[in-house]
A and B are shown apart, each in its own frame.
Chain A
Amino acid sequence: GESVGLHLPTLSVQEGDNSIINCAYSNSASDYFIWYKQESGKGPQFIIDIRSNMDKRQGQRVTVLLNKTVKHLSLQIAATQPGDSAVYFCAENQGAQKLVFGQGTRLTINP
């Protein structure tokens, strides 16, 4: 079946640097994508979303890029802080509110 996947399971960055987390999706019919952040012992927390008619969307310190040609999604976090340490999931809306989550990338911040 079609699924959402991630290129890397772990990412380690220096505090203050920018982080880029990647995600590949395979369902070309998906029209909505979401990034969630999950800290240890907590549920996923909504970060930012993007619809398929957009290529880029910016939030506070975060930017999501969507490349439909290669079915690729990325999350950029500017000036990474210790509080950004978490597992990040991309999720794909395959219709009728059915979210399919990727495996996740663990982001670790080095002081």
Chain B
Amino acid sequence: EAGVVQSPRYKIIEKKQPVAFWCNPISGHNTLYWYLQNLGQGPELLIRYENEEAVDDSQLPKDRFSAERLKGVDSTLKIQPAELGDSAVYLCASSLASGTDTQYFGPGTRLTVL
């Protein structure tokens, strides 16, 4: 069974440009997460979806970040405009449901903002 798929794996953009990341969770997983991971740090939750509903977006900087999961499967995370401080790895994870179901992570997208 395929794991969590993310694309692109790497992205280099100039500041003030928009960027989008795509995630395809494990088949059948209803819960999807986007995390931000800075160098040398643990992942930090940005947003959590239960099917197509964003149930926790308290850590998402809404002035420049947006996310969607229209059909309750794939998800897109967007930054517009990107800032230098947004350089990080953006991880997507999925789990069967909420509670203590194991979260499985994708390989991440490494974003570099110049």
Contacts and interface: CB of A to CB of B under 8 A. Distances in A.
Partners in one complex: yes
Given A43-B91, A45-B105, A104 B41 contact: yes
Contacts of A32: 100
Nearest to B93: A43
Interface of B: 4, 31, 33, 40-45, 48, 55-56, 91, 93, 95, 98-108
Contacts of B104: 46
B98 A44 contact: no
B44 A101 contact: yes
A81 interface: no
Contacts, number: 58
Interface stretch (A13-21, A62-70, A71-79, A90-98): A90-98
B28 to A, nearest CB: 17
A99 B4 contact: no
A102 B106 CA distance: 19
Given A44-B91, A103-B42, A93 B100 contact: yes
A44 B105 contact: yes
A6 to B, nearest CB: 9
A43 B98 CA distance: 20
Contact of B43 (A44, A45, A93, A97): A44
Contact of B99 (A43, A97, A103): A97
